[in-house]
Structure 1
Amino acid sequence: MVNLGLSKVDDAVATKHPGLQQYAACQSHAFMKGTGSFVLGTGVLFSLQNLLQKKLPYRLQWNLLLSIVTGSVCSYLVTRSETLKCSDLWMYLETGNYPDRTPHTEEPAEPTDPSGPRTTQYGDVME
C-alpha cells in the first residue's frame, strides 16, 4: 500500500500510475504555499493598514475585512498557479510530454473570389 496523506492507495493503482507519489507531494506543496501566502498576505496588509491608520482613518473591522479578502485572493492565485504546475507534472509523468497551454487562435478564412457577388451563411446574395 502507498500512503497519500491520510488515505492509502492500493498497490495496483500505484503500479498503474508510477508518478502518483510525486503528484501528491506537489499538490501538498501547492496547498501549503497557498496557506502560507494567505497568512503572509493578510498579515502584511493588516500591518500596512495599521501604519497608515492616521492618514486613512477607518474602523478596525474594515482593516480586517480588506486584509482577509486580499489574502484570500492572493492565496487563490498562488494555489491555482501551483496546481496547474502539478497538473502539468502529472501529465508529463503519465504521457512523457508536457501539455500545450498556448491559446489556439484560428484565422478567419478569406473569400476565394472577392470580385464576384458574395453570399451570406444563409445563401442570400449580397451586392
Structure 2
Amino acid sequence: MPFLFSILTVAGMVIALVDLIMRDESQVKHLPRFAWILLVILLPLIGTILWFALGREYSSAGLGGFTPAGRAHQAPAPAPQQSAPPRPFEARSTEEQLADLDREIEYYERRAELERRKRELDTGSVD
C-alpha cells in the first residue's frame, strides 16, 4: 500500500511539473513559476495539490470534457457570422464594481436633491 501511494505521489508530481512548465506565464497565479517548481519538487504531495488548487488558471474556453468512450469532445465551433462582436474582458474586482455603483447611487441622490431644491426655489416655498 505505501508503494502505491508513493507511485501516485510521484506521478502527480510529474504531471504537475509538466503542466507547470507547459503553461504560459500569465496562467501561473500567486507565485512565480520557479517558486511553484521548487514547491512541487521539494514538497511533492502538498506542492502538487496546491498547484492544481491555487496555482494554475483554469479557462472555460480551453476545457474539453471526456465522453464515456474516452474520446475528448470539442466545443462546437462558433458560427462564421456572429451578430455582435465579443465584448472585451473587463478586469475589475468586485470591490471596484461595488465602489462604482456606490458613486453612481450617490450621484443620482445628489441630482434628485438638487432638483428638489430647484423646485422649492421656483415655487418659493421652503420646508
TM, length-normalised to structure 1: 0.28
If each structure's strand is expressed as a fraction of its own residues, which one has the higher value? 1
Q: Whose RCO is larger (CA < 8 A, sep 6+)?
A: 1
Could you state the TM-score of these two structures normalised by the residue count of structure 2?
A: 0.28
